[in-house]
Chain A
């Protein structure tokens, strides 16, 4: 569809230039885009971040003369999401964004039957033909978070509480542990998986288990359950590092920094790429800091506690990851970061 559109664009331009010479460029492309998140577009979290990305793509494409109409379907189960995706494809939507990790099969199934529609699926194993997956490669910024944690730890141990031992969430947890070792090769790193995005009670106990083992900086790689991690850190007077969005307001005295995912930017780039027909066939879009995904937001109330030389080292580290001098591996087995050869991480 993308290539077809480009051809149509060429034809339109040629026809336009030849026939209506002198008048304003009367050509405008109308494209329909559908957005299907896990939750609601105003959830203040994952689903809203994706929606912001789609809206940003609309603004960006409007500048180049493409007019996008956005429709969305909220709170669907995976099977309902497939029905919705097929429905949008039938109605001639050019791009359908499935912004939920459990919708992978929905995307692949619908993709097979509707080859003229582009399907974008977040965090899935592969890109095939008209189905592209996009993955926030959080191990990059988690590595930076781990580095900062190791420099801020007084006890010589740090920990991460993660939601599921699955794909990019494990990359995130192991990225943190590897980053901590990179900052201090002698540091002890712990990880816990709680099998939930929102069981705050279990997250609190998982963080407490790590604190009881000596950890004094805890990284959250889970969603709303992170409230439990902050509660544990507050009780024990420790630091926490948040994920995905800036959460310093949720616990101003414990959240040292937040490792942002820049989901809106990732979705924006995918949608503009899809509408413009610029996505590379079968390419997995696993985007890290080199692609602008992953940023560190310091908590203004606690940034004074970070020694200036540490802040500077963190900046240098981020620059080397962005420029590709340091490549952070995607480790998908819990604990493997402990065996990883730190020499392989030296800037090239």
Chain B
């Protein structure tokens, strides 16, 4: 490949396809995180929850022989981990950042330990057959967008369904209204007689399940193997993408796609042999994320009640916690 091929469609179509693949796990993780943050809970533990999802998803898929069962188990594992996180931060009022970091250390270590004790010592070759690509009839024949968007693993089509579902759920449903209020003005939600603790826990558990799924997509769908350290910071990137996308599902998905395309682009620039040092190229998607977050986040701002434990008024059993 030469630099001149940069202007050809045969360069851009595979690039877009690669961007969609790179973005897929990120969209899962960041959509879930957006819901959690909208409710006022910043879960920085999603990196660890993705690792947990990767190992659980891989093990269950390996033992059961069904990739989809593995994905389901990964979602459950992420959900359980997020319930622990939610219990500590919502019910016990623990600091969200500190608890999230602790969850990361715990879960990343747990995933390594589980894999090492099950496989490494026995030198077993454990791998799955990756879920094959499914070409959507007619749509995959569309010019330009056909191949990148409709000749992908079926999990990508799940993303197309999930984005509008999250959009409706978060921005056009009664539940979503309460969730958004919980993140901006929890007193109002509380006054309306809604149990804000359980509402936040629901939002956090959606985030955890989505993070678990995101990790399993990497291990089960894209690689067909678990590799220690394979999450490689994707959870943190998802956190940035949520800010980048302004906590709105469509924009979050678009931000993830942009990140994916830029990452795929830098890999292709390296192949083209441009005389730019590889460390700069490798850093491109991260530099882009930092720049965009610096400019966009400055204006958008986090939900007002983020990392502020809410002392439950109407449902509190101990009147002393009532700050009223």
Contact = CB atoms under 8 A, between A and B. Distances in A.
B123 A44 contact: yes
A206 B225 CA distance: 17
Contact of B18 (A43, A194, A209, A227): A209
A204 B116 contact: no
Main secondary structure of the interface of A (DSSP, over half): mixed
Given A198-B229, A201-B22, A209 B222 contact: no
A231 B223 contact: yes
Interface in A136-157: none
A213 B1 contact: yes
Given A191-B270, A198-B227, A227-B227, A40 B116 contact: yes
Contacts, number: 113
Contacts of A210: 271
Contacts of B309: none
Interface in A180-211: 188, 190-202, 204-206, 208-210
Interface residues of B, number: 38
A216 to B, nearest CB: 14
A201 B267 contact: no
Interface string B35-60: 00000000000000000000000000
A42 B223 CA distance: 24
A231 B282 contact: no
B268 interface: yes
Interface string B94-107: 00000000000000
B224 interface: yes
A165 interface: yes
Contacts of B279: 165, 195
A192 B270 contact: yes
B180 to A, nearest CB: 33
B222 A198 contact: no
A193 B270 contact: yes
Given A200-B225, A201-B218, A42 B267 contact: no
Contacts of A213: 1, 268, 271-272
B33 interface: no
Nearest to A252: B125
B183 to A, nearest CB: 31
Main secondary structure of the interface of B (DSSP, over half): helix
Interface string A201-238: 11011101110111000000000110110010011000
Contact of B273 (A42, A196, A335): A335
B264 A199 contact: no
A212 B14 CA distance: 7
B21 A205 contact: yes
Contacts of A335: 273, 275
A250 interface: yes
A92 B230 CA distance: 40
Number of chain A interface residues as a range: 35 or more
A159 interface: yes
Interface in B75-129: 116, 120-121, 123, 125, 127
Contacts of B120: 42-44
B271 A205 contact: no
A234 B225 CA distance: 13
Nearest to B25: A201
Nearest to A75: B112
B228 interface: yes
A205 B267 contact: yes
A129 interface: no
- Which of A43, A196, A201 has the largest number of chain B CB atoms within 10 A? A201
B173 interface: no
A200 B123 contact: no
Nearest to B234: A201
Contacts of B190: none
Interface in B231-252: 232, 234
19 contacts: A43-B120, A165-B278, A190-B1, A190-B273, A191-B271, A192-B267, A193-B270, A201-B218, A205-B263, A205-B264, A205-B267, A206-B267, A209-B267, A209-B271, A231-B222, A231-B225, A234-B130, A235-B133, A338-B273
Given A190-B1, A198-B232, A209-B268, 6 more contacts: A198-B227, A201-B222, A204-B222, A209-B18, A209-B270, A231-B224
| Ranked 4 nearest A-B pairs via Cβ | A198-B229, A213-B1, A199-B232, A212-B14
